[in-house]
Amino acid sequence: MHAPDDQTLTETGLPATGHGRVLLIACGALAREILDLKARNGWDHLDLHCLPAILHNTPEKITDAVTAAIDKRRVGYESVFVVYADCGTGGQLQAACDRLGVSMVPGPHCYSFFEGNDRFATHAEDEITAFYLTDFLVRQFDAFVWKPLGLDRHPDLRDMYFGHYTKLVYQAQTDDPALTARAQDCAARLGLAFERRFTGYGDLATELARL
C-alpha cells in the first residue's frame, strides 16, 4: 500500500482524534515504510499525513510546508511527530519544530537514519563521493533524478553532475531482487560503481517505536 501525497491515513480513512493519538507529518518518500511499520506492530494510534516527496528537490520549501501541516492538523491529537530529518533545511526545520513543541527524526537525512545515524557518521567522511539511493528513490529514479536533471534530454550532462562521484550506494530497506537489479541499472546509467547495503528501516523504526 502506498500513501498518496498530502493525505492523512487512518484505519477508517477518516482522521481519528483523542487521547493517546499521534499525528505523523511525514515525507511522502517514507509513506510505504511507515505504513509497513504500522501494520507490523499494530500501531493503530499513529495517523499518517504525507507531504509531497518532490519537496526534496526544493528543500527550502520543506519547513514552511511542515509548519502549515502542523498548524492545520494538530487539533485533537495528543502529540505530533515530524518524520523528516534535516533534509537540507539547514536547521530551519528543527528550529520550527522546537518552536511548535513537536519532535522530529534526528539526523541529517534519510540516508543517515535508515543506516543508523551513529553508523552512518562513522564512514560519512570517507564516502563524500558516494551517491545514495533508497528503495523509494530506486523506484522513482527517473522522476526524481534522471528527468529533473535533464539527463533524459541531455545525457552528455551526466559527467558534469556525477563526474566527482565514484559509487552508487543502494540502501535497501527490503530484500527485493527486482529493486536491486533496478538499482544496478541506475548505477550503470550514471557510470558509477555499485554497492548494496541492507539497512532495513534503521532509526526510523526505533523512533516510531518510542511513540
User: Is 88 a member of any domain?
Assistant: yes
What is the predicted pLDDT for the residue at 196?
Answer: 98
pLDDT (tens digit, 9 = 90+) per residue, 28-52? 999 999 999 999 999 999 999 999 9
User: Is 54 a member of any domain?
Assistant: yes
DSSP label at residue 194: E
Enclosing domain of residue 46? 8-105
Does residue 54 sit in the same domain as residue 17?
yes
pLDDT (tens digit, 9 = 90+) per residue, 87-130? 999 999 999 999 999 999 999 999 999 999 999 999 888 999 99
Does residue 44 sit in the same domain as residue 83?
yes
Judge whether residue 7 has pLDDT over 90. no
Q: What's the rounded mean pLDDT across residues 130-158?
A: 97
Residue 52 is part of a domain; what is its CATH number?
Answer: 3.40.50
Query: Average per-residue pLDDT in the chain?
Result: 92
92 close to 104: Cβ distance less than 8 angstroms: no
pLDDT (tens digit, 9 = 90+) per residue, 177-186? 999 999 999 9
Q: Give the residue from 171, 178, 174 showing the smallest Cα distance to 196.
A: 171
Does residue 94 sit in the same domain as residue 167?
no
Which cell numbers hold the place of 165? 562521484
Does residue 17 sit in the same domain as residue 99?
yes
What is the predicted pLDDT for the residue at 125?
Answer: 86
Q: Which of 105, 139, 158 is at the close of a domain?
A: 105
Q: What is the pTM of this model?
A: 0.88
